[in-house]
Amino acid sequence: MKENMLHGWINLYKPCGMTSNDAVSIIRRKLRIKKVGHGGTLDSLACGVLPVAIGEGTKIVPFVMGQRKEYVFTVRFGEMRTTDDLDGEILETCDVFPGPQEILDKIPFFMGEQQQIPPKYSALKIGGRRASDLMREGEDVELAPRTIMIYDLELLRQEDVRHFTFRLECSKGFYVRSFARDIAAVLGTLGCVSYLERTRVGAMKKENAILLEKIIEICHIERDYSYVYSIKAVLDDIPAVLVSSEEASDLRMGRSIPWPDTALNGDVLCLENDLELGIATANLGLLSPKRNFVYNKE
């Protein structure tokens, strides 16, 4: 079957009970696209926004993964599990359940830049192997703390005596499961995640996400790709610059070009007319190509 020449991103709403790789595989098969990736793993237990890259959109996965993320999640206090969520086995329980005011008093402690130890059951690699795989084989692992940022943290409601729901905005590399473990420890109890939903990644929000079953349905009845975001739409947090056809030719050949705005610094999206040409680095009056997009015609 002929490959589909689509380029961009899909704001997918991943359901619970499915891995991120499962969702990507379904989209690859249904849309007939070879190059497919995603911008940040969601655990099988979790649901919500999963940015899926297709075609040349896969070249900006690191940029999308670096964007701010928002989660709504519920912490179950009084229980510790191997995976820090309900997918794991119970290790320990206790009868210490904090009240709303106790939790509110501790929220400022977690704001801003933090050092966070990832869950042992995670996709982080040790010696080329996933920590979660090593743990399942009976080998204990030690993961180093990582610098993360919490931009906003809100206690939304108390569900019952042991369950509390939060909303949190954070940087890349943040683990909600680690937060549940850590806030419980600060409160003198145990904790794990009982519900997790990602509601935003950069410009992609829950309210604009498309369900996987909807994509499957559309693929069966018509060639409608209106749900595919352009690369430009996804990269709305970095500057965009227009280049001439001559400058575009130089950038495609891997050559830097002079740029009159010497104050421009860092990554920029280069546009030739309205077409995304690639990502370049601006520095000291030069634009140097970093990721060029190549569009094959059907």
Residues catalogued as catalytic: 43
HEC letters along the chain: CCCCCCCEEEEEEECCCCCHHHHHHHHHHHHCCCCEEECCCCCCCCEEEEEEEEHHHHHHHHHHHCCCEEEEEEEEECEEECCCECCCCEEEECCCCCCHHHHHHHHHHHCEEEEECCCCCCCCEECCEEHHHHHHCCCCCCCCCEEEEEEEEEEEEECCCCEEEEEEEECCCCCHHHHHHHHHHHCCCCEEEEEEEEEEECCEEHHHCEEHHHHHHHHHHCCCCCCEECHHHHCCCCCEEECCHHHHHHHHCCCCEECCCCCCCEEEEEEECCEEEEEEEEECCEEEEEEECCCCCC
